[in-house]
Structure 1
Amino acid sequence: MLDFFGDFDLPTIGVLSAATVLAMATMSLIKLKNKEVQVDKAVSSILAGGSILGGVVGKSIFNVIAVSMNIPTITAIIQSSVLAALLTLVFIYFLKKDKVKSLAFKNKAGIFSIGLALGFLSAFLGIGGGPLNVTVLILLFAMNTKSAAVNSIFIIFFSQLSALLLIAFTTGYAEYDLSMLLYMIPGGILGGIIGSNFSVKLTDNQIDKIFSVTILVIIFINLYNIVEVTFL
């Protein structure tokens, strides 16, 4: 969405997005702490550990491409293309998920690797990664949509936190225009409150429908961004 409005450069968008998503994830975890939502603490902890490392690696590679090499246009095309492709696969999976058998991954090294991959994509693409996280958690850990959404927030929290800490301890934030955070962080917190309340009240089927519509909207926005950056 920030790329769509075109008011900020790509590195700034990454910071704005990460900070807002981190605020959302923090509030969501606080709100969901005392709710009756199933969370596999063992799996989530290992996934979170992997996502921390993945977040650092993803943001480091992003900084090399977008900042050091100074090729933001190519980076934007890569980000939008990869995200559109991944979300298209996610959408197809959700249409067919009743016919796809879910796994129950138990290997700790494998779980850590999955967390690393999800954290990497989350940080590199500059997104929370929710739709992708939820799909992977359902497919590989036999979670329902509601439980997968909650566990996804753990991954989002740690991947975005690690990405922001990496910037803090390397380049710092002085070169970024972060004035919009005064509005975006409260918006992220309010969104986290509203979203966590809906999460426990809606059925899995209702969440699936909202999820699918949201994915379609994001896919079309990314396709528009690719066309705008390439041809307009």
Structure 2
Amino acid sequence: MIGILYFLVVILANTLGAISGMGGGVLIKPIFDFIGAHSVAAISFYSTVAVFTMSIVSTTRQVSSGRKFNWKIVSGVSAGAVLGGILGNVTFEVLLKLLTDEKMVQLVQIILTIMTLLFAFLYTRYEWRSFHFRSVVAYIICGLLLGFLASLLGIGGGPINVSLLMLMFALPIKEATIYSICTIFFSQLAKLITIACSTGFARYDLSMLIYIIPAAIIGGIIGAKFSNILSAKRVTFVFQLVVLIVLLINIYNGYQIICWM
């Protein structure tokens, strides 16, 4: 029953994630938290696998459709995302050890996620001034921050990816969503490698991947298709709608944890 529920959640989340450039984890993580069937570490792992799978499918579809990439941006941001992904996962494991109660770790994740959600919504809603950074150093710093937050929060990429790319490099939203998905691929790859080389996968119920991986593939295919046909205005609408929904879910989850404490 839980597997089927996860399957449906991942399809919906990854479809919206591929369209908006958020990666799906920003929905998967809080919804899985709400369901409460697995530990914080397991949920973070499942979200990572789902988003990583989606990023492969979505990027492949974008390339095959003839989409052009600025490979200087892709390589710079992705290089930073790899390092950021490793640092984020290390920080997550440190938090699990320091805050022996998993609920506290979950609360830290929720607070940071809410902060990124508010930034993302306000930026796209009020169209704040953008910068035009074009140096490799700027690309790497951007990727480092995005990879760190994506890995630490267990949300794959989240709304801050698109918003920060638009802010730093003055990219239109549809272009930012594409580079966001590329960044997600490298940050989540780094996280999975870090897990494999440190704690390993034995502590997770890997049977859930039978539901999660196929759902992630389906969501990535559907999302990439809609991403190509929707206008920038529609993509912005989807982005803002998802941000508001996830914001409400996180606020509710945070409230429940505070009441439990």
One-letter identity of the residue aligned with 1:78? V
What CA distance in whole angstroms lies between the structure 1 residues aligned with 2:80 and 2:236? Answer: 27
Secondary structure of the structure 2 residue equivalent to 1:180: helix
| Paired position in structure 2 for 1:43 | 73
Instruction: Flag as ranges the 4+ runs of structure 1 deviating above 3 A.
Output: none
The farther-off stretch of 9-18 and 100-109 is 100-109
Question: Cα offset for 1:178?
Answer: 2.5
Question: Cα offset for 1:69?
Answer: 4.8
What per-residue deviation string (whole Å, max 9, x for no partner) do you get for residues 142-175 of structure 1? 1111110010011100000100110101111111
Amino-acid identity (%): 35
Preserved CA contact (<8 Å) 1:10 1:66: no
What CA distance in whole angstroms lies between the structure 2 residues aligned with 1:68 and 1:173? Answer: 21
Question: Cα offset for 1:36?
Answer: 4.1
What CA distance in whole angstroms lies between the structure 1 residues aligned with 2:99 and 2:234? Answer: 44
Residue among 54, 64, 73 paired with 1:24: 54
Residue among 238, 243, 250 paired with 1:210: 238
What CA distance in whole angstroms lies between the structure 2 residues aligned with 1:73 and 1:59? Answer: 18
Q: How is 1:155-194 mapped onto 2 (pairs within 5 angstroms)?
A: 155-194=183-222
In structure 2, the gaps of 5 or more residues are 1-30
Preserved CA contact (<8 Å) 1:20 1:188: yes
One-letter identity of the residue aligned with 1:102? S
- TM-score, L = length of structure 1: 0.95
| Paired position in structure 2 for 1:221 | 249
The farther-off stretch of 185-194 and 172-181 is 172-181
Q: How is 1:56-205 mapped onto 2 (pairs within 5 angstroms)?
A: 56-67=86-97, 69-97=99-127, 100-205=128-233
What CA distance in whole angstroms lies between the structure 1 residues aligned with 2:207 and 2:182? Answer: 27
What CA distance in whole angstroms lies between the structure 2 residues aligned with 1:39 and 1:221? Answer: 34
Secondary structure of the structure 1 residue equivalent to 2:73: helix
Q: Cα distance 1:101–1:207, how it changes in 2: closer, same or farther (>3 A)?
A: same
What CA distance in whole angstroms lies between the structure 2 residues aligned with 1:71 and 1:35? Answer: 47
What CA distance in whole angstroms lies between the structure 2 residues aligned with 1:197 and 1:137? Answer: 22
What CA distance in whole angstroms lies between the structure 2 residues aligned with 1:91 and 1:101? Answer: 14
What per-residue deviation string (whole Å, max 9, x for no partner) do you get for residues 97-137 of structure 1? 1xx23221112222211110100000000012231110111
Preserved CA contact (<8 Å) 1:22 1:157: yes
Secondary structure of the structure 1 residue equivalent to 2:74: helix
| Paired position in structure 1 for 2:16 | none
- TM-score, L = length of structure 2: 0.85
Question: Cα offset for 1:70?
Answer: 2.7
| Paired position in structure 1 for 2:28 | none
Residue among 12, 37, 40 paired with 1:7: 37
What per-residue deviation string (whole Å, max 9, x for no partner) do you get for residues 170-226 of structure 1? 111111123221111111111100000000000000110011100000001110110
Secondary structure of the structure 1 residue equivalent to 2:203: coil
